[in-house]
Amino acid sequence: ALRDAVQAAQDAVDDPEADADQLKAANKAMTKAAQELWEIVTKAELEALIESANGYLDGNYTEESLEALQTAITAAQAAANNDDATTAEVTEAITNLANAIAALESITLDTSALAHEIELVTEMVANIDDYVPSTVEGLADKLADAQAAMNAMTQEEIDAATATLREARLNARTKADVSALEELIAYVNSLELSAYTSASAQPVIQNLARAKAMLANAEVTQEEVNDMVETLRASVDDLVEVSVESTTTTDSDTTNTAAAMQTGMFAGLLAVSAGLILMMRRRRTTK
């Protein structure tokens, strides 16, 4: 239509017989065609911009800037739906909507605390065997969830992920240091317990068995290990040797007792013999 209007206007200009009214009419027709074409072009541009603007509404932007964008979208949609909207109104709607998009304010998410927890727990997972199994169960999965939360859209999600991972980290407990207990067990194993009295050796034997069982328990606490070291060491300190002097004295006492018994028996026999001889002599004298 615009091309035809332009050609008609050009023909009127080239026609030497065309009067002023004809030239005005040709110019008016050309202007109207241009206006109609402009409205078509600008409305298409407006509708495309409206579609683009709607895509920003789900973005991570401040509430205030999103509200301003929604207001601009509503006004632009009204202009696009208005068949009587002027070029100026459509152009204004385009300008306002473009400005609202440009004015969107991104929300700055703080992931520093979460990143710190991820760093700490990553190191823990790499050395997972250093921890009591029951206290780090599922820790690797929680780490993966936290890493995914680094791309969260809201601060609330990031803070929640941080709290969850921190709690898991603080609940983890390193295995007890049993080196001192192992050394003490090795020392006790080297002792010849038969060289000590049974009464003093029995507690050592019992505590040694408990200590060995403790080494096999992955859940044992450091406090329990420390207490076991003290208990076993105390029982070792209380060992009483079976001394050579004590053994010799006992044997000597036994020998002396036997000798005394033999001497007593011999003396008794002598006394009986003497008595018999004396009685025999008295009887002879009497006769």
Model confidence at 10, pLDDT cuts 50, 70, 90, reads low
Q: pLDDT > 90: what percent of the chain?
A: 55
What pLDDT was estimated at residue 282?
42
What pLDDT was estimated at residue 283?
40
190 CB neighbour count, 10 Å cutoff = 7
Arithmetic mean of pLDDT over the chain:
80
Question: Pick from 195, 212, 237: which residue ends a domain?
Answer: 237
Domain count, the chain: 4
DSSP string, 62-81: -HHHHHHHHHHHHHHHHHHH
Model confidence at 125, pLDDT cuts 50, 70, 90, reads very high
Same domain (yes/no): 34, 124: no
Residue 247 lies in a domain: no
106, β-bridge pairs: 61
Under 8 Å between Cβ of 97 and 73: yes
Q: At what angle do helices 63-81 and 20-54 cross, to 10 degrees?
A: 140
131, β-bridge pairs: 174
Give mean pLDDT, residues 158-179.
Answer: 96
Same domain (yes/no): 78, 139: no
Beta-carbon contacts of 234 under 8 Å, excluding residues fewer than 6 positions away, are: none
Same domain (yes/no): 11, 96: yes
Residue 191 lies in a domain: yes
Per-residue pLDDT of 226-262, as tens digits, reads 999 999 999 999 999 997 544 444 444 434 433 333 4
Same domain (yes/no): 92, 132: no
Same domain (yes/no): 43, 69: yes
Domain carrying residue 121: 112-171
Same domain (yes/no): 20, 94: yes
Of 105 and 270, the one with more pLDDT? 105
Of 218 and 9, the one with more pLDDT? 218
Give mean pLDDT, residues 98-109.
Answer: 89
Under 8 Å between Cβ of 28 and 60: no
Residue 245 lies in a domain: no
What pLDDT was estimated at residue 263?
38
| Beta strand residue intervals within 160-209, DSSP E | none
What pLDDT was estimated at residue 73?
96
What pLDDT was estimated at residue 274?
41
Residue 88 lies in a domain: yes
Residue 116 lies in a domain: yes
Q: Is 162 exposed, middle or buried (0-12, 13-18, 19+ CB in 10 A)?
A: buried
Question: Pick from 171, 187, 217: which residue ends a domain?
Answer: 171
Give mean pLDDT, residues 23-41.
Answer: 59
What pLDDT was estimated at residue 8?
66
Nearest to 60, CA basis, from 149, 152, 145:
152
Model confidence at 200, pLDDT cuts 50, 70, 90, reads very high
Residue 246 lies in a domain: no
What pLDDT was estimated at residue 243?
78
Under 8 Å between Cβ of 103 and 72: no
Residue 84 lies in a domain: yes
CA 226 to chain centre: 27
What pLDDT was estimated at residue 65?
93
Beta-carbon contacts of 147 under 8 Å, excluding residues fewer than 6 positions away, are: 118
Same domain (yes/no): 8, 53: yes
DSSP string, 159-187: HHHHHHHHHHHHH--BPP--HHHHHHHHH
Same domain (yes/no): 139, 188: no
pTM score of the predicted model? 0.51
What pLDDT was estimated at residue 46?
87
Per-residue pLDDT of 269-285, as tens digits, reads 343 344 333 334 444 44
Same domain (yes/no): 135, 207: no
Question: Pick from 68, 102, 136: which residue ends a domain?
Answer: 102
Same domain (yes/no): 35, 90: yes
The yes-or-no verdict on residue 93 having pLDDT over 50 is yes
Residue 244 lies in a domain: no
